[in-house]
Amino acid sequence: MLDQLRHWIRRLRRPEGEDPRSKQMPAPVVPGEQVLSDCRIIVLDLETTGLNQAKDEVIAVGAVAIHNNAIRLADQFDLVLRRPELDISQTVLIHGIGPEALTRGHETEDALLYLLEWMNGDPVLAYHSAFDQGFLEKTLSKTLGYNRSHTWFDVADLMPAFFPEAKPTGHGLDDWADYFGLEVSARHHAAADALVTAELTLAALNRAEKEGCTTLKDFADRLKYYRRLRNMHHHGH
């Protein structure tokens, strides 16, 4: 992966007269008649210095791709960003990323450009995706001037939408992992969290196809419908 990254950065740095940051990145996929099982879907997890999007920063990105009803372990992304200036004393105990790791990390611009190329414009899933989406879009905009929105789906909606009969003990990633009997190797490690989220996603995708959700649009519509019902239910109380 590092060789690939170095080669890619060298290629990107060739003077080509146009700003590679916005011009060369693949356009985000819009849900339509794409066959769901043919779609490459990315499951992503970020580690940040805190929960406040206004002042906190992204320090690590973990992601894995799902394609043809399988998690592609050869198609993973796992990078710590080089942010030696950040004060992480408050959060180091949560994610275990210390100052040394941030000093040795990958240059933020290069890492984010590489991430965008790796994402390839594909739809993105995350657990409580508004958090990851907000942080990632802020970082891409601030660092690269990149402002295109990918299609995001929230796995926290996905699970109850396709497993309405399930009664996990709570609404967190761990609760759903327990419900399905999944092992979580290292919580609050971006790549490990992305992997367990991907396993849950795969279960939901399989259920979706059995229920006749065959296209990316069907899948997106089903989630919209679930959210509408949930919101009506909340407002009704």
Percent of the chain as helix, strand, coil, to the nearest 5: 50, 15, 35
pLDDT in tens, 166-203: 999 888 898 999 999 987 765 557 777 889 999 999 99
Q: What mean pLDDT is predicted for residues 46-57?
A: 86
User: Quick one: pLDDT at residue 193?
Assistant: 84
Q: What is the CATH number of the domain that holds 91?
A: 3.30.420.10
In a domain, 151, yes or no: yes
In a domain, 7, yes or no: no
In a domain, 25, yes or no: no
**For 234, how many CA atoms within 13 A lie in the half-sphere containing its CB?**
6
pLDDT in tens, 82-113: 665 656 555 554 555 556 655 565 677 888 88
Domains in the chain, number: 1
In a domain, 139, yes or no: yes
Handedness of CA 111, 117, 121, 122 (dihedral sign): negative
Q: Which structural domain, as residue segments, surrounds residue 103?
A: 33-236
From the list 172, 127, 166, 126, the residue with the least C-alpha distance to 150 is: 126
In a domain, 13, yes or no: no
Chain mean pLDDT for the chain: 83
**Which token pair is 119?**
């994402």
* Residue 73: strand, helix, or coil: strand
The secondary structure of 6-71 as a DSSP string is HHHHHHHTS--SS-HHHHSSPPPP--SS-BGGGS-EEEEEEEES-S-TTT--EEEEEEEEEETTEE
Instruction: Give the total residue count for the chain.
Output: 237
